[in-house]
Amino acid sequence: MFFLLVGFSGVDAQPGPGTNPFMKKKPQKPIFERVNMHPVTGQISVFWKLPPPHKNYPPIEGILLYKVKISESGDKDLVLLKSLPLGVTYVDLPLTGDDGANGLEGSQTFALSSYCTAKVETTVGDKVYQVGDQIPSDLTPRQSTMFLEYEYDECVGKMHMKWNPYRGWPGNNVKYEVKLGASSAFANLPTHGEPFIDETDVLVDVPGNKKLWFFIRATSQDGKVSQSNLCNVESPAHQNAAGLLFLDSVVSSPKSNHISYRILPGAFANRFELVRSDDSAAFEAKLTRKVVATVGQEELGPDGYAGAADDFDEEENLQKKKRYYYLAAVNNCDQEFAFSNKANSIVLRVSNEGDKNTLVWDTLSVRRPSPWPGLGKEEQTYYPEYYVYRSSTLDGQEPRVKEILKIGQDDTHELKHVDDLADPTHGLEGFKGVVEGKRYVNRFCYVVKAYEYVSATRDRTRISISDEKCIKLNVSVEMPNGIAPLQKSSSLGLQRNLFEPKPELVTEYEMYIYDRSGKLVYTGKQWDGKLSNGDYAREGAYIYRVKIEVPGRTAKVQTGSFMVVYPTKREGGDGRKP
């Protein structure tokens, strides 16, 4: 009869008399239940229990605890941490030292084995144990603590939590709960939202001006619990400026726009920016966005803030086209989240033909229907009105300003006006004549003031004033037909010893006088008949040429001839001629 001998791993192949031929050399491994962490301190506790005794395994005499450590070379090595006696089913590890672990430093991984003591020299695999040596069981599956990390985006008010999954529990379906609240007492934190099954990240809304504490609680299918580290986040105070920003006026000058604005009490932002753009449409406005002035939150007082700024542009003439301005509240993420009304500059254009000046100007962009302070929360409507002013000056006097046009709420008048200075009803009194012994200076200036009103009360809510635009006319010059250098006045009392132009309006000109041969004998404003050497000019015909400069146009030139005469004795002179 033949027998087939079968070897059993861990079984003594040559049992002595009265021994169990199926006895293992290594004890049973313990049952690794869970590893937990104190969310605040990071102290780690490891829990286990012993398996029921088995006749084929030597009795368990103690527990060995292992931890995964990262070596200097970066390898993950499983090293023995502690040897624990029977009767202990959990251990609280110190935070430091060779036998410690700190859960706040990251996920920690552990394994367990039991051991028995070698009674005789025993060989297990390729290792020989001497009498009294600890013979370890097989290792349990490893279990790892959770480590929670988060990213908070205050710009959108959201927090992304992510954590490594709890490893080691048999099967899947680990339930994760987000514990979140306004208290650092983690045991009392409520569950936020619904639990997750096997998911290890979540997006959470974070309200403004809050300090929140949170951690992750994992639960196995059979009710075992493990906790992550406790984290906290503090969100900035809720920023608000809606309905509290106002742009009051835009006043233009040749090289700048002066903007006045207000920030009402209660506005809160990282900062406030006065912004200029060249377009009212949102997308195009971003392309030309320029910050004119900045106000920090700390500059606001109990009454808010009232400010003004001048917008200069050295590279471009601001008055070439309409510019838009608004006040923006900016958060910590450099995002605009609240805006004032938009206000635009008024660009006035003036042209001339004859005695008529034609004025064209930009539309005032009024705000959309919205509440107005003092009128409750109901939306109010707004409308524009335009006022046109003319400034004229008598020679040697202060300018005189007159309102020449008003375009009201119900007017259908286009934003254009022709100012006929010679019109007897609406023009300039005494135009091209003598008023109060004076003539008008050839310089007429215009300004447009555009007002925004709230319909309910007709209160003015904003003003934009154009740059003053001045224009000169092409004027004619009346010239005398002669000069009598030695005779101060004629029998009619008219001055005769000066030859000078008489323009319709006081204007700039230059006069040139030539003799019959074409030689230039005088340049200036008025001629007394003398030559450059001090002698009087000879009697006879001379030619004049008067050049009148008008900015932006070709100079007007007027020419003609006149006589230089000397009186006879009968005319009251001495009769002497040069």
Compute the distance between CA of residue 162 and CA of residue 199 in angstroms, rounded to an integer.
9
Q: Please state, as a whole number, how many other Cβ atoms lie within 10 Å of the Cβ of residue 272.
A: 27
Q: Please state, as a whole number, how many other Cβ atoms lie within 10 Å of the Cβ of residue 497.
A: 14
- Residue range 120-132: average pLDDT? 93
| pLDDT for position 569 | 56
Strands (E), 375-476: 382-392, 400-407, 416-420, 444-454, 459-465, 469-471
Compute the distance between CA of residue 249 and CA of residue 465 in angstroms, rounded to an integer.
8
| pLDDT for position 578 | 62
Query: For tokens 């069981």, what's the residue?
Result: 137
Closest listed residue to residue 33, CA positions, set 138, 146, 112: 112
The 3-state DSSP composition of the chain as helix, strand, coil percent (nearest 5) reads 5, 45, 50
CATH topology of domain 245-344: Immunoglobulin-like (2.60.40)
Closest listed residue to residue 124, CA positions, set 15, 26, 55: 26
User: What dotted CATH number matches 477-571?
Assistant: 2.60.40.1220
Q: What does pLDDT average to over the chain? A: 89
Query: For tokens 């986040």, what's the residue?
Result: 233
Residue type, position 459, single letter:
D
Q: List the structure tokens of 94.
A: 């110190």
- Residue range 97-115: average pLDDT? 95
Q: How far is CA 321 from CA 21, 252, 362, 363, 462, in A?
A: 105, 12, 9, 12, 20
Closest listed residue to residue 286, CA positions, set 356, 253, 335, 217: 335
User: What dotted CATH number matches 149-234?
Assistant: 2.60.40.10
Q: Please state, as a whole number, how many other Cβ atoms lie within 10 Å of the Cβ of residue 221.
A: 12
575 pLDDT tier (thresholds 50, 70, 90): very low
The yes-or-no verdict on residue 460 having pLDDT over 80 is: yes
- Residue range 111-124: average pLDDT? 95
Compute the distance between CA of residue 408 and CA of residue 462 in angstroms, rounded to an integer.
15
- Residue range 44-63: average pLDDT? 96
pLDDT, one tens digit per residue, over 429-458 is: 999 989 998 999 999 999 999 999 999 899
Distant-in-sequence contacts of 132-137, Cβ < 8 A, 24+ apart: 134/61, 134/62, 134/64, 134/83, 135/25, 135/26, 135/27, 135/58, 136/26, 136/64, 137/26, 137/27, 137/28, 137/29, 137/30, 137/60, 137/113
The yes-or-no verdict on residue 100 having pLDDT over 60 is: yes
For residue 395, the 8-state DSSP code is T
| pLDDT for position 574 | 47
Compute the distance between CA of residue 510 and CA of residue 524 in angstroms, rounded to an integer.
6
Positive or negative, the CA dihedral 237, 242, 243, 247 is: positive
DSSP codes, 148-215: EEEEEETTTTEEEEEEPPPB-SSSS--EEEEEEES-S-GGGPPEEEEEEES--EEEEE--SS-EEEEE
Q: List the structure tokens of 457.
A: 């009360």
Q: How far is CA 40 from CA 110, 189, 459, in A?
A: 20, 13, 60
Q: Which ranges in the chain are annotated with CATH 2.60.40.10? A: 149-234, 245-344
196 pLDDT tier (thresholds 50, 70, 90): confident
Q: Reduce the DSSP state of residue 103 to 3 states and report it.
A: helix
Closest listed residue to residue 212, CA positions, set 234, 185, 195: 234
Q: How far is CA 243 from CA 92, 123, 572, in A?
A: 58, 85, 86
The yes-or-no verdict on residue 409 having pLDDT over 90 is: no
* Domain boundaries 31-144, CATH class: mainly beta
Q: What percent of the chain has pLDDT over 90?
A: 71
Lowest mean pLDDT among 49-53, 135-139, 168-172, 389-393: 168-172
The yes-or-no verdict on residue 11 having pLDDT over 70 is: no
Q: What percent of the chain has pLDDT over 70?
A: 93
For residue 240, the 8-state DSSP code is B
The yes-or-no verdict on residue 501 having pLDDT over 80 is: yes
Compute the distance between CA of residue 282 and CA of residue 289 in angstroms, rounded to an integer.
10
Q: Please state, as a whole number, how many other Cβ atoms lie within 10 Å of the Cβ of residue 337.
A: 16
Strand partners, 388: 405, 448
- Contact (CB, 8 A) for 116 and 58: yes
Closest listed residue to residue 138, CA positions, set 42, 28, 292, 238: 28
- Residue range 538-561: average pLDDT? 89
Query: Sheet harboring 148-153: ordered strands across?
Result: 148-153, 158-163, 201-205
491 pLDDT tier (thresholds 50, 70, 90): low
